[in-house]
Amino acid sequence: MQVTLTWDLLIIIFFAIVMTYSLIIGRNESIKIITATYIATIVTHGVGGYIEQLSQQSHIILRTLGIAIDSTTILAIKLLVFIVTIVLIAVQGGIDVDYEDSGATDTGIAAVLGFATAALLLINLFTVLGQLPLLDPRMTTIPPLLTVAKQSLLAATMISYQHFWFTLPALILIATSFIGRK
């Protein structure tokens, strides 16, 4: 059996891994990851915007010092800030979520939260890769993302409906907050 690596396959695998991880860590920790991801999104866009502004204002000074801050450097910094912020908040952020374990219901909620987490992470990744502000309507026209969207129906759907995918985890958190409260 020959498997061809495509963007659709990568997206499906990404969703499967995140959903599996969410099932392993459970509902409470999945909620912490979603919360950390939302906070990391804001931090990443804030830090990235500041670095872009700093690099434009200090271009001559940075060049004289031999420091090159180009779009690739900014992209790498944003990705690093995003990942580090999620990990720090999830592990050390002081967020405490405590729902009663309700067996199959809790497992189902963890799976749904895993799906929403994967969507949120992926839409954030597309935003960072496109080097755009959060929920920018131009996302569908940016060349790197346009290329991916042309090759993948799943990526095109995610990019086209970015507002939905970004708000889905919050809506699910609200809806499931009434189930299994202590």
Give per-residue pLDDT as tens, 83-120. 999 999 988 877 777 777 767 788 889 999 999 999 99
Residue 123 domain-assigned (yes or no): yes
Residues 6-63 pLDDT 10s: 999 999 999 999 999 999 998 888 999 999 999 999 999 999 888 888 777 776 676 7
Residue 11 domain-assigned (yes or no): yes
For residue 180, what is the DSSP state?
S
Residue 27 domain-assigned (yes or no): yes
The set of residues, in sequence order, having a beta carbon less than 8 Å from that of 146 and lying 6+ positions away, is 140
Residue 115 domain-assigned (yes or no): yes
Residue 181 domain-assigned (yes or no): no
Residue 159 domain-assigned (yes or no): yes
Mean pLDDT of 61-80: 79
Residue 62 domain-assigned (yes or no): yes
Enclosing domain of residue 27: 7-92+101-176
Distances (CA, A) of 176 to 19, 63, 92, 172: 17, 52, 24, 6
Total count of domains within the chain: 1
Residue 129 domain-assigned (yes or no): yes
From 54, 56, 39, 57, select the one nearest 134 (Cα to Cα). 39
pTM for this predicted structure: 0.86
